[in-house]
Structure 1
């Protein structure tokens, strides 16, 4: 009978890759709404507060946020060391995104999705019950941290002469466009005191932004460069 008295949990960099990919999948679960009655592109908001689907998305975002934090922590501790400066920025920003998303999802505000900046801005402007400045600011911080992380990852892969840098750069460009559009329109919603319906356009933009977030996390998990350690040789001497 094997002796298990000294058994202990052993983390591996591959756990971080799995966590990043799993987070990408979980952040994509909002697509389940297309099969729900009344769902799909006709809705302006990502999810209606208090609905079964809203509670489902709230739970999935908490799970995804925790997975992102795990991936970032393992990337920092067990990931690659070459071109470390930009890679460190990417990991820390990823961790900040996960922490901000998790904190927002735990707040008692009316917005079920942690990255739903438009909902947070509208709820704050209208003085909705449970809405707070902290929730809105953390939603914005999550969007900005995700963008900073994918940009830093792009620079890191480019400096490491990794062919995958072009793919990550496309993801960074798409995320920059959608994040900027979402933040601008959310700002408009806030300064207009939340008057009127958020509209389909803003809902589609937020869905598109979540797609780019999921693709960034997927890229961070499947590209081996950020995780592969090197000892000596030309790769280890690449400048920061």
Structure 2
């Protein structure tokens, strides 16, 4: 559950003087190399990734493919921090909108995330007794997360602006997904009580 909360630590931008407009900036800009809270947000992203990886450790009755996609998601998230955006393009017009390395690690993180979601939702359909929360809510969260993720790509195609809101909605949905996983694992650990 801690990973679900930490994944949405971007809400700290409401109280920290980041200088970024959440409507028009990517959350990755919070830990861009030239930003004042680079270390804070990069550290939170790394801790979150480690928690996700730890939660994906082998457990009985847990689908292996979905678990490995979660590990890949965590690894790509750490890579996101290792190769951050050089600067924040939403406030610095000289900054490149597409940083190739960061864009690649972000794309890998999303591919792994959506892979884990799809595989674990599919597993919940075949193993109905073990994954009722994922079976009930997973398809909705997956669909909404895909829609909001697609809504964030405007700047990559030369159409910046208003991508920050759908991205933050997307990150909230990822937090919901991580919370669903945590609650499902907790229910399994207590025999479904």
**TM-score, structure 1 normalization:** 0.64
Larger-gyration structure (1/2): 1
Q: Is the 8 A contact 1:90 1:153 kept in 2?
A: yes
How far does the alpha carbon of each residue in 1:97-129 deviate from its partner, in whole angstroms, 9 at most, with x for none? 0001111211254268xxxxxxxxx7364xxxx
Q: Which residue of 2 aligns with 1:102?
A: 78
What does residue range 156-195 of structure 1 map to in structure 2 within 5 Å? Answer: 156-162=123-129, 163-164=132-133, 165-182=135-152, 184-188=153-157, 192=158
CA–CA separation in structure 2 for the residues paired with 1:95 and 1:144: 12
**Cα deviation digits, residues 156-192 of structure 1 (max 9, x gap):** 112112432111222111112122223x42541xxx3
Residue 50 of structure 2, aligned match among 51, 62, 66: 66
1:139 equivalenced with 2:106 (yes/no): yes
**What stretches of structure 1 move > 4 A for 4+ residues in a row?**
37-40, 225-230
How many residues were matched structurally? 178
Structure 2 gaps of 5+ residues are: 89-94
Shift of 1:64: 0.7
Q: 1:202 aligns with which of 159, 163, 171?
A: 163
**Equivalence map 1:22-171=2 (5 Å):** 22-37=2-17, 41-46=22-27, 47-48=29-30, 49=32, 50-72=34-56, 74=57, 77-80=58-61, 87-107=63-83, 109-110=85-86, 123=96, 125=98, 131=99, 133-162=100-129, 163-164=132-133, 165-171=135-141
Q: Tell me, yes or no, if the aligned pair for 1:78 and 1:227 is still in contact at 8 Å.
A: no
**1:213 is the counterpart of 2:182:** no
Provide the secondary structure at the position in 2 that maps to 1:69: helix
Is 1:24–1:214's contact at 8 Å kept on the other side of the alignment? yes
- Please say if residues 53 and 74 of structure 2, whose CA atoms lie closer than 8 Å, have aligned partners that are also in contact: yes
Q: CA RMSD in A?
A: 2.8
* TM-score when normalising by structure 2: 0.78
Unaligned runs of 5+ residues in structure 1 are: 1-20, 82-86, 113-121, 126-130, 231-240
